[in-house]
Chain A
Amino acid sequence: MLRFLVRRTLGAVVILLFISAFTFFLFFAIPHDPALLSCGKNCTPDNLRTIHHNLGLDHPVPVQYYHYMVRIFTGHRFSTGNCPAPCFGYSFANSEPVWPTLMDRLPTTLSLALGAMVVFLLFGLGTGMLAAWKRGTTVDKVFSSASLVLSSMQIYFVGPIVLALLVYNNHILDQPKYVPFTDNPLSWFNGLLIPWCVLSILFTANYTRMSRSTMIEQLQEEHVRTARAKGMSSAYVFFRYAWRGSLIPIVTILGIDLGSLLGGAMITEYTFQLAGLGRLAIDSVTKTDLPMLMGVMLFSAALIVLFNILVDAAYAFIDPRVRLS
């Protein structure tokens, strides 16, 4: 296990290094000067030079990259403030320190993504397993076709419709907003209910279909038959034996889906005006805000890498054959 962790952590570092370099150099490959953002109306070449100097853009790109990477570990004192390690610098656009901003946005995105994950796992796996349990019946057919319809629903399409129906026109649900869980758990829940549901629609449908088919596959496994031959009840066999076997493909897909979940969270944050990492990513791209962009990219990459390590660790937990080999 230790070796596994060490190996994966090293791999993660390499990936993050690659992503950081890629993002950094790609940013400068685009012919757009981030200094123009702070140049206001008096955008004379002189003023641009001043801003270049203020932002550290007057060095060659590789040197800037080197500074960026070193400062992550050593920290740096900028004119806008002292930036202790891990120092990701200050936003070009609004001089906010990047790391605290990320930490500030993280709870929103995590609440949104993990909450949606709970919703789609609950509903997706629930309906999928029910369909598998009732295979061939009306229930199965209704769930299967419903999942087909739902899987073609896009967030930016469903979001505004849900808002119009449930919030603006009928006032059934609260206007989506983010309230920290620690402030008021009920408001947190109410505020995120619509975003969770909308974000999870696509995923729910996929997980319904997938869990149904893997459960049916698993129910035909010989060891499942053995369990039945031992006199274990149908429910026990279903939930302990077949379900356990379904976990591996489900967890695998879940690991792959994290990227799209973050992407979906981005669109959802935009649709419902939630200030999360996705929103921050979009903003930093449109504002050509390199430090913020780098921060979001690295941070979300790290999240995905971390999640995949967790997924791999989960394999070991689920499947003892992986654990020992």
Chain B
Amino acid sequence: MTTMTKPGEFAEDAAPAASDAFLSVRDLYVRFSTEDGIVKAVDGLSFDLERGRTLGIVGESGSGKSVTNLTVLGLHNPATTEVAGEILLDGQELTGASNRTLEKLRGDKVAMIFQDSLTALSPYYTVGRQIAEPYVKHRGVSKREGRERAIEMLEKVGIPQPRMRVDDYPHQFSGGMRQRAMIAMALVCNPDLLIADEPTTALDVTVQAQILDLLKDLQQEFGSAIILITHDLGVVSNVADDLLVMYAGRAVERGSVRELIREPQHPYTWGLLGSMPRLMSDVTEPLTPIPGAPPSLLSPPPGCAFHPRCGFTDLVGGGRCATERPELPDGRGSACHLTGEQKRSVFIETIQPRLG
């Protein structure tokens, strides 16, 4: 992992106080060099996560949420990526850590669940082997013990007849079963941190619920911290404790699930809520998608990156939204030039009625 050698370049505010968080990300910058220019995929992101808690990271595609988490594991391409900032896992600095160090962490202390289990599992090896692999590697056990562990894990994630299915190939599993297998694979070493990147997106609703329940149960059993990445606020609201809303590589709002659902502060969060169907709402009520498209990360808009799509820039006035970048305060809060009062009144008067 490449670390930027000129910290001053990015230093915008004083480093936050070190917390007792299990994972602490501070001022993370991730830049890809492409043929068209530099992509600022993550642009000064900070967050903390404690053991046993679940952090939901929400945002549209391209908002930098997946990149952030791949960076935590060091899975980006080092040849084309610049990473700066601080990633502390259980007090251990991960930016700039050697590949060896990271390899030891991956799959053991930190595990990851990917979105599409069909492409994310190798078609060439049996499910059992793929589950056992990290266990054999990190625990140094024999292949037979690995296999036994795989069977145990398959059973744990609710695969019927695991002893028979352990030698099946991924394509012999249904979508839901594959996702369970992937979870089994991620949890095989009892990771302290589990990063689930859109774990249910490819699944139908009932299976979605089962998988999320499974994650919750397993979290209780193992006490892991979970980062749940999704573009679906509905999913996280059921599972997560805290939420982080990302837009154009930056965190724009932060708070507990309760706070964010009840009283969202950022116009982008309002947009996300508005574009989400609700079970209770009137079916005739149209969903209101956020107008416009996510910005190009090659040249993000100046000021607040969301301002070209924001309907409330007038309330701020002075063109501040287009020139001055709003900062996200520590703890509960949002990165928006609207005053606290304005946020509250706009939400209550115009947004909430629409959400029903």
Contact = CB atoms under 8 A, between A and B. Distances in A.
A232 interface: yes
B106 A228 contact: yes
A232 B134 contact: yes
Given A222-B114, A318-B124, A320-B169, A230 B185 contact: yes
Which of A224, A226, A234, A244 has the largest number of chain B CB atoms within 10 A? A226
B122 A223 contact: yes
Contacts of B169: 320-321, 324
B178 to A, nearest CB: 12
B103 A223 contact: no
A227 interface: yes
A104 to B, nearest CB: 42
B107 A222 contact: no
Contact of A226 (B120, B124, B137, B171): B120
Interface in A288-325: 318-321, 324
Contacts of A225: 75, 114, 120
Given A225-B75, A320-B169, A321-B169, A230 B134 contact: yes
Interface in A136-161: 136
A136 B33 CA distance: 14
Nearest to B99: A234
A203 interface: no
Contact of A244 (B99, B114, B122, B172): B122
B122 A226 contact: yes
Interface string B77-114: 00100000000000000000001000111111001101
Interface residues of A, number: 24
B172 A228 contact: no
Which of A136, A223, A320 has the largest number of chain B CB atoms within 10 A? A223
A228 B75 CA distance: 7
B75 A229 contact: yes
A244 B75 CA distance: 20
B325 interface: no
A229 B73 contact: yes
Contacts of A283: none
B241 interface: no
Contacts of B125: 244
A231 B105 contact: yes
A136 B172 CA distance: 38
A276 interface: no
Which of B105, B107, B124, B125 has the largest number of chain A CB atoms within 10 A? B124
A260 interface: no
A230 B120 contact: no
Question: Chain A binding site: helix, strand, loop or mixed by DSSP?
Answer: helix
A324 B168 CA distance: 11
Contacts of A223: 119-123
Contacts of B133: 227, 230, 232
A33 interface: no
Contacts of A226: 112, 114, 120-122
B138 interface: yes
A227 B112 CA distance: 10
B171 A227 contact: no
Contact of A320 (B105, B108, B120, B124): B124
Contacts of A135: 79
A221 interface: yes
Contacts of B119: 221-223
Interface string B110-150: 01101010011111110000100110011000000000000
Contacts of B105: 231
A241 interface: yes
Interface string A249-271: 00000000000000000000000
Contacts of B75: 225, 228-229
A232 B121 contact: no
A223 B125 CA distance: 11
A38 to B, nearest CB: 59
A245 interface: yes
A168 to B, nearest CB: 47
Given A225-B75, A321-B169, A324-B172, A231 B137 contact: yes
Interface string A207-232: 00000000000000111111111111
Nearest to B195: A229
B134 A231 contact: yes
Contacts of A82: none
A153 B111 CA distance: 50
A94 interface: no
B11 to A, nearest CB: 31
A227 B122 contact: yes
17 contacts: A136-B79, A223-B119, A223-B121, A223-B122, A226-B122, A228-B75, A229-B106, A229-B107, A230-B134, A232-B107, A232-B133, A233-B103, A234-B99, A244-B124, A245-B124, A320-B171, A324-B169
Interface of A: 135-136, 221-234, 241, 244-245, 318-321, 324
Given A223-B123, A226-B112, A228-B75, 10 more contacts: A222-B120, A225-B114, A229-B107, A230-B107, A230-B134, A233-B103, A234-B99, A241-B122, A244-B122, A245-B124
